[in-house]
C-alpha cells in the first residue's frame, strides 16, 4: 500500500489540513512552507502544530511532504537571490521541526547560465550548511523536467549533488512522475528500467516520496505541465503500474494535478481503488 494525498493550502492552519485530507479520503499531503512567490514565512502556532501531529498519529497518516518555495534558488547567480534562497532553506528547516519525522522537498535550482557543475556545487554547499545532525526532517531533492537551466533533470545530476553532501542520511529524492517523463525517462514503456537506472545511480532507498502527476506533454518535452491522472501522455495504465510497483510501496504519493477539491477527492478514490484491486468501487465513488 502506498499513502495517497494531494497538495493543500495552509491558509486555515495545520490541523485543518489534516482534517481536510481525512475528508478527501487520503492519508498524506503536501503544502507550501511559505507563499510560493516568496516573502516572509508566517510563524507556526505551536498548539496548531501539536494538534496536527496528534491527528496524524491517531489516523495513521504516512509521512507528509512539505514543499519549499519556487523562488528559493540555491544556485542563483545573483548574490542577493542566492542569500535569500539560503535563508529560506534555513528558516524552512527550523520551522519543519514543529513536524518531526516528515519530508521537505524542494526544486534543486536553476544555474542561470553558470553551468551545471557550478549549480551542483552551490546547491550542495547550501545543504552542507543547513543539514545538521539534530534535524528531524529528511530533505528531498525533486526530480526536475529539465526546463531552462534547471539542475536535477537527470538522475546523474541528483547523484552529483548527493555525492557532495556530508549528511547523506538527511537527504533523499522526491520522484515527480510528470517531471521524469518530461525529462525523457520512459516510465510508460520501461518503468522497471527507469527504476533500475535510479537504483544504480542514486539507490532506491533514497526514493522517499512521489509527486503523482500525469503530463500534458510527450516524453522528453522538458515542459513541466501537469495533467489530471489518466488524461495526459503518461496515462492511467502506466500510473496504475507506478502506484502498485513493489519498490514504491509505503511511500507518500502527492497529487499535484490541476484540480479543485472534487477532482482530488475523485483521484484519491481512483488510486485507492487500484490498491483495493476493485475499480468498480471507484466508479461508484466518482
> Quick one: which segment of 62-70, 122-130, 218-226, 228-236 binds Zn ion (CB under 5 A)?
218-226
C-beta separation of 257 from 30 below 8 A = no
Query: Catalytic site residues?
Result: 37, 67, 70, 107, 142, 176, 179, 211, 224, 226, 256
Closest residue to Fe ion in the complex (CB): 211
x-marked contacts with Fe ion along 142-181 as a string, rule CB under 5 A: x---------------------------------x-----
- The packing angle between helices 116-130 and 155-164, to 10°, is 40
Among the candidate windows 3-11, 73-81, 210-218, 242-250, which touches Fe ion by CB under 5 A? Answer: 210-218
Please choose, out of 8-16, 182-190, 197-205, 223-231, the segment that lies near Zn ion by the rule CB under 5 A: 223-231
- Partner whose binding site includes residue 227, from Zn ion, Fe ion, none (CB under 5 to 8 Å by kind): none
**Using rule CB under 5 A, residue 27 touches Fe ion:** no
Give residue 152's region: left, alpha or beta (phi > 0; psi -120 to 50): left
- Does 226 contact Fe ion by CB under 5 A? no
Contact 75, 82 (CB under 8 A): yes
Minimum gap (Å) between residue 226 Cβ and Zn ion: 6
Cell numbers found for residue 26: 487520503
Residue 224 binding: pick among Fe ion, Zn ion, none (C-beta 5-8 Å cut-off by kind): Zn ion
**Contacted by 27, from Fe ion, Zn ion, none: CB < 5 to 8 Å by type:** none
> How many CA atoms lie within 13 Å of 279's alpha carbon, on the beta-carbon side?
4
Determine the Cα–Cα distance for residues 247 and 110; give it in Å rounded to an integer: 30
DSSP states along 31-61: -BSS-TT--PPPPPPHHHHHHHHHHHHHHT-
CB of 97 to Zn ion, least distance (A): 27
Residues 6+ apart with CB under 8 A from 277: none
Please select the residue that binds Zn ion; options are 224, 229, 234, 264, rule is CB under 5 A: 224
DSSP states of 203-225:
-GGGEEEEEE-EESS-TT-----
Size of the site for Fe ion (CB under 5 A): 3
Alpha-carbon span 48 to 281, nearest angstrom? 35
**Nearest residue to 177 (alpha-carbon basis) of 200, 198, 150, 156:** 198
Task: Give least dist CB 282 to Zn ion, A.
Answer: 25
Interface pick for Fe ion out of 211, 216, 251, 266 (rule CB under 5 A): 211
Which residue ranges make up the site for Fe ion (CB under 5 A)?
Answer: 142, 176, 211
Amino acid at each position: 500500500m502506498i499513502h495517497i494525498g494531494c497538495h493543500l493550502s495552509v491558509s486555515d492552519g495545520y490541523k485543518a489540513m489534516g482534517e481536510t485530507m481525512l475528508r478527501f479520503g487520503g492519508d498524506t499531503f503536501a503544502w507550501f512552507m511559505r507563499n510560493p512567490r516568496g516573502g516572509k514565512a508566517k510563524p507556526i502556532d505551536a498548539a496548531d502544530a501539536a494538534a496536527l501531529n496528534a491527528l496524524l498519529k491517531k489516523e495513521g497518516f504516512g509521512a507528509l511532504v512539505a514543499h519549499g518555495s519556487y523562488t528559493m534558488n540555491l544556485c542563483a547567480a545573483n548574490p542577493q537571490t542566492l542569500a535569500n534562497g539560503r535563508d529560506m532553506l534555513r528558516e524552512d528547516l527550523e520551522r519543519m521541526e514543529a513536524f518531526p519525522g516528515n519530508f521537505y522537498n524542494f526544486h534543486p535550482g536553476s544555474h542561470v547560465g553558470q553551468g551545471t557543475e557550478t549549480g551542483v556545487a552551490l546547491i550542495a554547499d547550501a545543504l552542507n550548511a543547513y543539514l545538521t545532525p539534530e534535524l528531524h526532517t529528511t530533505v528531498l531533492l525533486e526530480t526536475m523536467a529539465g526546463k531552462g537551466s534547471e539542475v536535477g533533470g537527470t538522475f546523474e545530476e541528483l547523484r552529483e549533488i548527493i555525492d557532495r553532501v556530508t549528511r547523506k542520511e538527511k537527504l533523499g529524492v522526491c520522484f515527480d512522475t510528470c517531471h521524469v517523463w518530461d525529462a525523457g525517462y520512459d516510465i510508460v514503456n520501461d518503468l522497471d528500467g527507469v527504476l533500475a537506472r535510479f537504483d544504480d545511480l542514486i539507490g532506491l532507498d533514497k526514493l522517499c516520496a512521489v509527486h503523482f502527476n500525469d503530463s500534458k506533454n510527450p516524453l522528453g518535452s522538458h515542459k513541466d505541465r501537469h495533467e489530471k491522472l489518466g488524461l495526459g501522455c503518461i496515462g492511467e495504465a502506466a500510473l496504475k503500474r507506478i502506484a502498485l510497483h513493489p519498490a514504491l510501496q509505503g511511500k507518500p504519493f502527492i497529487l499535484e494535478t490541476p484540480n479543485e477539491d472534487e477532482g482530488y477527492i475523485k483521484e484519491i478514490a481512483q488510486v485507492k481503488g487500484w490498491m483495493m484491486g476493485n475499480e468498480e468501487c471507484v466508479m461508484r465513488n466518482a
